[in-house]
Amino acid sequence: MGLEKEKSDTSIIMDEDEFNRSMEPMLSKKGNVYASEPDRDPHDVNAHLKVGFEDVIAEPISAHSFDKVWIGSLAAFELVKFVFYRLLTTLLAVPVAFVLGLVFGVLSCIHIWLVMPAIQSVVMLLPSVQVVWRSLTDMFVTPLFHSAGKCLSSVQVSTTED
Mean pLDDT by 10 residues, the chain (162 residues): 54 55 51 69 82 79 84 90 94 96 97 94 87 85 72 76 73
Residue 2: predicted pLDDT = 53
Please tell me the pTM assigned to this model. 0.47
DSSP per-residue codes, 56-94: H----TT----HHHHHHHHHHHHHHHHHHHHHHHHHHHH
Is the four-CA dihedral 99, 100, 103, 106 of positive or negative sign? negative
Residue 127: predicted pLDDT = 87
Residue 29: predicted pLDDT = 52
- φ, ψ for residue 82 (rounded to 5)? -65, -50
User: Which residue type, as a one-letter code, is found at position 98?
Assistant: F
Of 99, 95, 89, nearest to 40 (Cα)? Answer: 89
